[in-house]
DNA sequence: CTTTCGTCCTGACTGC
DNA sequence: TGCAGTCAGGACGAAA
């Protein structure tokens, strides 16, 4: 259920469990999720020491001793749960690892749009899922001038442009809707019509929405990283997403829902121009 | 080249 | 209560 803040939250939760720890058990119950998993994945991971996990876009990357990195992608419905000891596995718990402390890290994904891969470090930058990604939303790369330049000549809407991982990596439908609301920009605005003024609102809006979501994700998480507890996503403080027909928090105009490139967009037709 | 559309899959929810 | 239909936070690859 993951956009960048949820993935970041999961990464933060698994870090103290995995960093510096040797993998003692691996359980793989499918040969594929969205794509075929690496052959003999369990054997390849068994006994390896994990380095500190990090995040790129919506991917969790766990460097392993031996110049390889484990990539986890949660897709649409993926979640990771942590346990203090071996749990009872559920039907969608496709991939689990234990470390020598006895703790288990369980990857669950009902829709199986997620993916797991094991990548040689020198091939990371060329990997199919990573090579095309744009800068992180908090990268120094992002400036209003940079954004305006990137949007020049784009004939699509700002909504579709922000959903494109090649422009800025890690945004998804919810936070694009929320950032556009915060910036007062209609999702229907054409990308090439976003000038310096609106770009100067949009970039801080994106960063503000994401950092607040990460902070609140972290808060809810602390209570939930208990034995059997779930690391997941907690809806809160959404101003437009999922609020079609309800009053705008600023002007009380009814929030509208439209479909753009196959995805729902929520916005306030009065506040967002 | 850029952009949109179909697709992978299960489960939760709505309305008849 | 049952069942068909709809929708979902992602992202590739084909097609336009």
| pLDDT value, residue A236 | 67
Q: Report, as an integer, the average pLDDT of A114-132.
A: 96
Asked if pLDDT for residue A234 goes beyond 80, the answer is: no
| pLDDT value, residue A235 | 58
Q: How far is CA A185 from CA A5, A63, A126, A143, A168, in A?
A: 22, 39, 35, 17, 17
| pLDDT value, residue A215 | 84
Q: Which two tokens stand for residue A56?
A: 């790129």
To the query of whether residue A38 is one of the catalytic residues in this protein, the response is no
To the query of whether residue A254 is one of the catalytic residues in this protein, the response is no
Asked if pLDDT for residue A22 goes beyond 60, the answer is: yes
To the query of whether residue A88 is one of the catalytic residues in this protein, the response is no
- The residue from A27, A44, A201, A263 that is catalytic is A263
| pLDDT value, residue A133 | 96
For residue A258, what are the contacts with CB-CB under 8 A and spacing of at least 6? A187, A188, A264, A265, A267
Look-up of token digits 């994904």: A109
| pLDDT value, residue A246 | 93
| pLDDT value, residue A2 | 82
To the query of whether residue A2 is one of the catalytic residues in this protein, the response is yes
Asked if pLDDT for residue A47 goes beyond 50, the answer is: yes
| pLDDT value, residue A249 | 94
Q: Report, as an integer, the average pLDDT of A70-85.
A: 92
Mutual orientation of helices A4-18 and A196-224 as an angle, nearest 10°?
40
Q: Which two tokens stand for residue A139?
A: 């990268």
Strand C: which positions are within 7 A of a protein CB?
A: 7-13
- The residue from A2, A53, A144, A187 that is catalytic is A2
- For residue A89, what pLDDT band results from cuts at 50, 70 and 90? very high
Q: A22 near A47, Cβ under 8 Å?
A: yes
pTM of the model: 0.94
Q: How far is the CA of A232 from the C1' of B5 (A)?
A: 30
User: Could you tell me the end-to-end alpha-carbon distance of chain A, in angstroms, rounded to an integer?
Assistant: 29
Footprint of strand B on the protein (CB under 7 A): A 34, 77, 91-92, 110-113, 153-157, 160-161, 191, 261-262
Nearest nt to the A57 alpha carbon by C1': C10
- The residue from A11, A58, A103, A198 that is catalytic is A58
For residue A241, what are the contacts with CB-CB under 8 A and spacing of at least 6? A173, A174, A177, A178, A266
Least confident of A134-143, A196-205, A234-243: A234-243
Q: Report, as an integer, the average pLDDT of A221-242.
A: 59
């Amino acid at each position: 259920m993951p956009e960048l803040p949820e993935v970041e939250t999961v990464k933060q939760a698994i870090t103290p469990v995995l960093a510096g720890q040797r993998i003692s058990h691996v359980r793989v119950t499918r040969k594929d999720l969205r794509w075929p998993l690496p052959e003999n994945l369990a054997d390849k991971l068994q006994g390896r020491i994990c380095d500190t996990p990090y995040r790129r876009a919506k991917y969790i990357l766990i460097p392993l001793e031996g110049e390889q990195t484990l990539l986890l992608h949660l897709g649409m419905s993926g979640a990771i749960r942590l346990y203090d000891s071996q749990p009872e596995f559920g039907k969608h718990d496709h991939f689990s690892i234990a470390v020598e402390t006895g703790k288990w890290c369980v990857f669950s994904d009902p829709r199986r749009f997620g993916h797991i891969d094991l990548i040689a470090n020198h091939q990371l930058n060329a990997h199919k899922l990573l090579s095309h990604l744009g800068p992180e939303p908090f990268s120094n790369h992002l400036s209003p001038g940079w954004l305006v330049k990137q949007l020049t000549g784009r004939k699509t809407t700002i909504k579709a442009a922000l959903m494109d991982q090649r422009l800025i990596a890690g945004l998804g439908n919810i936070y694009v809707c929320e950032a556009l609301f915060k910036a007062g920009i209609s999702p229907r605005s054409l990308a090439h019509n976003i000038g310096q003024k609106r770009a100067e609102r949009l970039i801080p809006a994106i960063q503000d929405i994401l950092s607040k979501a990460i902070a609140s994700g972290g808060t809810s998480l602390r209570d939930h990283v208990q034995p059997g507890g779930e690391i997941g996503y907690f809806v809160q403080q959404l101003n437009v997403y999922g609020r079609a027909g309800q009053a705008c928090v600023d002007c009380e105009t009814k929030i509208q829902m439209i479909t753009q490139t196959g995805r729902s967009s929520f916005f306030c037709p009065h506040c967002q121009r």
